[in-house]
């Protein structure tokens, strides 16, 4: 009976030791698991920025097809109402004013179009993340050459997709070249 008790005690001791080791291993991986989850969320937010850039690119192409010129105010059209950025600001550094003939044509087809709405700040649309509200969009967009001319454009998406203080910058031009200028993950 003593032998069985000793064997039982040894088995219980080994099982307890295995449980303790398992808990230690799981706990030691907690930071790695949290880091992987944060990276996945950041990548999802970056994908959202790319999708909005593609939508804005499409709006620019439609504007060009209608009026024979690009605009810095693609965000000033009725089609941009659905944009609700969580962590990015979008737009251009410059205001490209149409000439009088273009303006007359634009006002005929889109009476509410406002060419001064070249970024989300001017539309009153602020990203919901606190750090994104502090972005000096115009300065950063100028730095990355995000401007519109009558024949070319480069859109900017600037924001903080991660919960760190690293800025993320994307650009897309009229030829749909998407460039990740500055990655918040690196």
- With respect to residue 28, please indicate whether it lies within any of the assigned structural domains: no
Structural domain that includes position 80: 39-182
pLDDT for the residue 80: 47
pLDDT per residue, tens digit, the chain (186 aa), is 677 767 766 766 776 677 777 777 777 777 787 888 888 888 998 998 999 899 889 989 988 998 898 988 866 554 445 555 678 888 888 888 888 888 888 888 877 777 777 666 666 666 667 777 788 888 999 999 999 999 999 999 999 888 788 899 999 999 999 999 999 988
Total residues found in the chain within this entry: 186
3 found inside a domain: no
Are the beta carbons of 54 and 127 closer than 8 angstroms? Answer: no
Count structural domains, the chain. Answer: 1
For residue 117, being part of any structural domain is answered with yes
Q: Within a domain: residue 20?
A: no
Residue 21 is assigned to a structural domain of this protein: no
Position 5 scores a pLDDT of 67
- Asked whether residue 79 is assigned to any structural domain, the reply reads yes
- Mark 146-170 as b/e (b = at least 16 C-beta within 10 Å): bbbeeeebbbbbbbbbbeeeebbbb
Domain annotation covers residue 25: no
């Amino acid at each position: 009976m003593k032998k069985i008790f000793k064997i039982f005690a040894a088995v219980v001791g080994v099982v307890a030791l295995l449980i303790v080791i398992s808990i230690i291993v799981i706990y030691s991986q907690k930071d790695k698991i949290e880091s992987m989850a944060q990276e996945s969320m950041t990548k999802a937010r970056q994908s959202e920025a790319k999708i909005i850039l593609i939508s804005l690119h499409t709006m620019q192409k439609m504007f060009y097809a209608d009026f024979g010129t690009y605009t810095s105010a693609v965000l000033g059209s009725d089609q941009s109402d659905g944009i609700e950025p969580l962590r990015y600001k979008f737009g251009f550094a410059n205001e490209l004013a149409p000439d009088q003939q273009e303006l007359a044509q634009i006002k005929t087809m889109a009476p509410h179009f406002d060419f001064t709405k070249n970024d989300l700040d001017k539309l009153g649309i602020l990203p919901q993340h606190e750090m994104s509200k502090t972005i000096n969009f115009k300065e950063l967009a100028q730095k990355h050459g995000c401007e519109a001319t009558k024949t070319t454009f480069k859109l900017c998406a600037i924001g903080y997709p991660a919960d760190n203080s690293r800025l993320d910058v994307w650009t897309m031009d009229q030829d749909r070249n998407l460039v990740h200028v500055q990655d918040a993950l690196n």
